[in-house]
Chains A and B, each alone.
Chain A
Amino acid sequence: MLEIAALSLRVSGVALGISALTGIPVGAFLGLSRFRGRPFLVTLVYTGMGFPPVVIGLFVYLLLSRNGPLAAIESAIIPALFTPGAMVLAQSIIAFPLVAGFTMAAVMGVDAQLHLQARALGATRWQTAVTVLAEARVGVLAAVIAGFGGIISEVGAVMLVGGNIDGRTRVLTTAIVLETRKGNFDLAIALGVILLGLTFVANWALLRLQGKEE
Chain B
Amino acid sequence: MMETLYQLTNVAHAYGERQVLQIDTLDIRQGEILALVGPSGAGKSTLLRLLNFLETPTHGRIQFQNQASQPMPLHLRRRVTTVFQRPFLLNRSVSANVRYGLRLRGRRDHTHAVEKALEQVGLHEMARQPARTLSGGEAQRVALARALVIQPDVLLLDEPTANLDPQNVALIEKIITQLNQEQGTTLVLVTHNIFQARRLAQRAALLMNGRLIETAAANDFFHHPTQPQTAAFIRGDMVY
Residues of A within 8 A of B (CB): 111, 113-114, 116-124, 127, 131, 134-135, 213
In whole angstroms, what is the CA distance A122 to B147 when docked? 10
Q: A116-B49, A116-B54, A127-B104 are in contact. Are A121 and B146 (CB under 8 A)?
A: yes
Q: A113-B84, A124-B74 are in contact. Are A119 and B54 (CB under 8 A)?
A: yes
In whole angstroms, what is the CA distance A73 to B168 when docked? 71
Which residue of A116, A122, A131 contacts B77 across the interface (Cβ within 8 Å)?
A122
Closest CB-CB distance, B150 to chain A, in whole Å?
7
In whole angstroms, what is the CA distance A91 to B150 when docked? 47
* Residue in A closest to B100 when the chains form the complex, CB atoms: A121
**B104, A120: Cβ atoms closer than 8 Å:** no
> B66-90 interface mask toward A, CB cutoff 8 Å, 1 = contact, 0 = none?
0000000010011001101010101
**A120, B90: Cβ atoms closer than 8 Å:** no
List 9 A-B residue pairs with CB atoms under 8 Å apart, sorted by A's residue number. A111-B88, A116-B54, A119-B52, A120-B81, A120-B84, A121-B100, A121-B150, A122-B77, A135-B90
- Of B82, B91, B147, most A-chain CB atoms within 10 Å: B91
The 6 closest A-B CB pairs, nearest first, are A122-B78, A121-B101, A113-B88, A120-B82, A117-B88, A122-B104
Contacts of B105 in A (CB 8 A): 122
Closest CB-CB distance, B221 to chain A, in whole Å?
27
Contacts of B146 in A (CB 8 A): 121
Contacts of B101 in A (CB 8 A): 121-122
Q: B125-155: which residues lie under 8 A (CB-CB) from chain A? A: 146-147, 150
In whole angstroms, what is the CA distance A122 to B99 when docked? 12
Told that A121-B101, A121-B147 touch, could you supply 13 new A-B pairs with CB distance under 8 A? A113-B84, A116-B88, A118-B104, A120-B54, A120-B84, A121-B100, A122-B81, A122-B101, A122-B104, A122-B150, A124-B74, A124-B104, A135-B91
Number of interface residues of B (CB under 8 A): 20
In whole angstroms, what is the CA distance A113 to B78 when docked? 18
* Residue in B closest to A116 when the chains form the complex, CB atoms: B54
> B204-216 interface mask toward A, CB cutoff 8 Å, 1 = contact, 0 = none?
0000000000000
In whole angstroms, what is the CA distance A120 to B78 when docked? 8
In whole angstroms, what is the CA distance A111 to B88 when docked? 9
Q: A122-B104, A122-B105, A123-B104 are in contact. Are A117 and B84 (CB under 8 A)?
A: yes
* Residue in A closest to B79 when the chains form the complex, CB atoms: A122
**A113, B86: Cβ atoms closer than 8 Å:** yes
* Residue in B closest to A120 when the chains form the complex, CB atoms: B82
In whole angstroms, what is the CA distance A202 to B84 when docked? 41
> B6-20 interface mask toward A, CB cutoff 8 Å, 1 = contact, 0 = none?
000000000000000
Contacts of B100 in A (CB 8 A): 121
Q: B87-118: which residues lie under 8 A (CB-CB) from chain A? A: 88, 90-91, 100-101, 104-105
**B52, A120: Cβ atoms closer than 8 Å:** yes
* Residue in A closest to B89 when the chains form the complex, CB atoms: A117
In whole angstroms, what is the CA distance A121 to B81 when docked? 6
Contacts of B74 in A (CB 8 A): 122, 124
In whole angstroms, what is the CA distance A163 to B87 when docked? 57
Q: A120-B81, A121-B81, A122-B81 are in contact. Are A131 and B52 (CB under 8 A)?
A: no
* Residue in A closest to B83 when the chains form the complex, CB atoms: A120
Q: A121-B150, A122-B77 are in contact. Are A131 and B49 (CB under 8 A)?
A: no
In whole angstroms, what is the CA distance A213 to B132 when docked? 12
Closest CB-CB distance, B240 to chain A, in whole Å?
28
- Of B77, B101, B104, most A-chain CB atoms within 10 Å: B104
Contacts of A118 in B (CB 8 A): 104
**A121, B104: Cβ atoms closer than 8 Å:** yes
In whole angstroms, what is the CA distance A124 to B103 when docked? 12
In whole angstroms, what is the CA distance A111 to B86 when docked? 12
Contacts of A122 in B (CB 8 A): 74, 77-78, 81, 101, 104-105, 150
